[in-house]
Amino acid sequence: MGVANAYVPRPGRDQENRGASRRARFGESVTNDVAIRADRIYKVFGRRPREAVKRLANGAERSSVTGFGTAAVIDASFDVKVGEIFVVMGLSGSGKSTLIRMLNGLLEPTSGSVNVLGTEITGVSEAVLRDVRRTKVSMVFQHFALLPHRTVIDNAAYGLEVQGIPAAERHERAQRVIERVGLSGWEDKLPGQLSGGMQQRVGLARALVADTDILLMDEAFSALDPLIRREMQEQLVELQRELGKTIVFITHDLNEAMFLGDRIAVMRDGRIVQLGTPDDILTDPANDYVAQFVQDVDRARVLTAAGVMEPARSVLSATAGPRAALRTMRDLQTSAVFVVGNGRKLLGVVHDTDALKLVKRGEKDLMPIVRQDAATVTGEQHLVDLFEPSAESPLPVAVVDDAGRLIGAIPRVTLLAALGNVTSSAITSELSVVGPAPTVPVAVMTETLRQTASFADEAEATIEGSQA
C-alpha cells in the first residue's frame, strides 16, 4: 500500500503535541522516569538458541534459523515510562505474548536484559523474581484465571493472602477496589455466577489490590463481547486516570491499541517494526506492513485535536482596540478574530461587522463586542468530538488547554484533511485556513480605517491610504 498521499504531520509543533492528549488524562503521572527497560532481548525456543541469536544478530532472517530453534522475539529494545499505557500490538505469532512474559520473569530471555523499576530481573534467583512479582508487577490474563471455589472478594484478595496480610485488612483493601471496578454487591458470589465481563473485572481487581506499580495485561479483553470489551477499555482508562499505574497491554486489535495506548509497539515476526504514539503510527507508518495494518482504522476516534490543529493566526489581545481588530481581519481576509487576555486565555470572538460599527463611532474599547460564540475543544479530544462544534460554527474550532488558554485552531478544511488522510494544502490555500471569508468587503474596511484615522496618527492614515 502506498502512503504518498498520507496526511503529513507538521514538523515542530506536531512532534510537541503527539501523545499530549494521552498524557493529559494522567495529569502529571506520566514522567520521563523508566518503569521497564528492555535492552536487546531475544527469545529463541529450540535446541541451539544461542546459535540462533548469534545469526540473527548478524542479520540472518527468522526463517533461516529454524534449524536451531523458533525465534519468538528478536532484538527488542524499548523503555516503558512511569505512568503510561504501553501497548504491544501484533497478529498471532508476532511474539507479543512471549515478550510480555519476559517482563516479569515468567520467561528468561535467551539474550539481552530486562530491568523493572531499577531491579535487573534477567539471570536472577527465583527469590528475587518472586519479590518483583509480589511488590512491583501484577499480571491480568486473557482467561481470568480465577479460583472457582472462592468468592469475588476472596479472589480479589488472594495476592494479599499469599503475602500473609491479615484477613480483615485484605478484605478491606479488596472491597475498595471491588467498588472501583463496579462489582459492589457481588462480593460473595462465585466466579461461575458471573458473566465473562464481570469475571474479567475480578481479575483486574485482583491485580489492583496487590497495589503494584506495574500491570501487565495479556489480551485481557479479547475473550469479551464487543460491547463489554469497549466498556472495559473505558474503565481501564478511567482507573488509570485515578491510580496512575504503569500498564503494558498486549492486543492483536488495532482499534483497542489506538484507544488505550500512550505509545504502541507494533510487532511482526518477532521484531518491533514501529514504536510511537497512535498519531505517529496512523499518520506516519514506518513501512507498508504498518500502513496496511492501519488503513481501516477509524481516524476520527484516534487522532486528537492537539495532533492536527493549526496555529491560531487570527488572534488579538483584549487590550487592542476596534481599529486593530478591523485591520487584522482585513489583512488576514477573515470575518473574525479570537480575542485573548492575559496568558493567552481565550475570552471570545470579535466579528468584522461589529468592529466596523465601533470604528465608525470612534470607540476605543473592544470588549463590548466580544462574543462568547467560539466553539472550543481541549487538545486531548478526538476528532469525532469536533464534528458538531465544527458544523455549528463558521469559525475554526478553538483548541484550549485546561486553563482555557488558546493553543491552536482547527478549520473545517484541516479537520477534513486529517480524516481523509491528505494534506490540507491539497484541498485549499493557506489563506482559507485562517478562517471564514470577510462579510465586510476589504475595500470598505480599508476606507473606514482611512477616514477614521485621527490627525494625530498621520502615519496610520498614510498606510491606510496606500492600501486603499
Q: Which domains does the chain have, with CATH numbers?
A: 13-136+212-297 (3.40.50.300), 307-467 (3.10.580.10)
**Over residues 440-453, mean pLDDT:** 89
**Over residues 148-157, mean pLDDT:** 91
With contact defined as beta carbons under 8 Å apart, do 380 and 305 qualify? Answer: yes
Q: What is the tens place of the pLDDT at every residue in 108-118?
A: 999 999 999 99
Note the pLDDT of residue 430. Answer: 40
Helical (H) or strand (E) element with 26: none
With contact defined as beta carbons under 8 Å apart, do 102 and 74 qualify? Answer: no
**Over residues 136-140, mean pLDDT:** 88
**What one-character DSSP code corresponds to residue 170?**
H
Note the pLDDT of residue 27. Answer: 43
pLDDT over 50 at 19, yes or no:
no
Note the pLDDT of residue 434. Answer: 52
With contact defined as beta carbons under 8 Å apart, do 93 and 74 qualify? Answer: no
**Helix residue ranges, H only, 244-321:** 254-260, 278-283, 288-294, 305-308
Q: What is the tens place of the pLDDT at every residue in 41-84?
A: 999 999 999 999 999 999 999 999 999 999 999 999 999 999 99
Note the pLDDT of residue 389. Answer: 86
Note the pLDDT of residue 356. Answer: 93
Residue 467: strand, helix, or coil: helix
Burial of 369 from C-beta contacts in 10 A (0-12 / 13-18 / 19+)? buried
Mean pLDDT of the chain: 83
CA distance 46 to 21: 43
Poorest-pLDDT segment among 144-153, 338-347, 351-360: 144-153
Residue 96: strand, helix, or coil: helix
Kindly report the number of other CB atoms within 10 A of residue 413's CB atom: 18
Cα separations in angstroms, 466 against 322, 360, 362, 460: 21, 20, 22, 10
Kindly report the number of other CB atoms within 10 A of residue 126's CB atom: 8
Q: How many residues in the chain?
A: 468
Helical (H) or strand (E) element with 95: none
Residue with cell 509480589: 134
Note the pLDDT of residue 100. Answer: 94
- The closest of 413, 415, 407 to 383, measured between CA atoms, is 415
**CA dihedral for 118, 123, 128, 134, sign (positive or negative):** positive
Q: In the beta sheet, which residues pair with residue 300?
A: none
CA distance 278 to 78: 16
Note the pLDDT of residue 296. Answer: 79
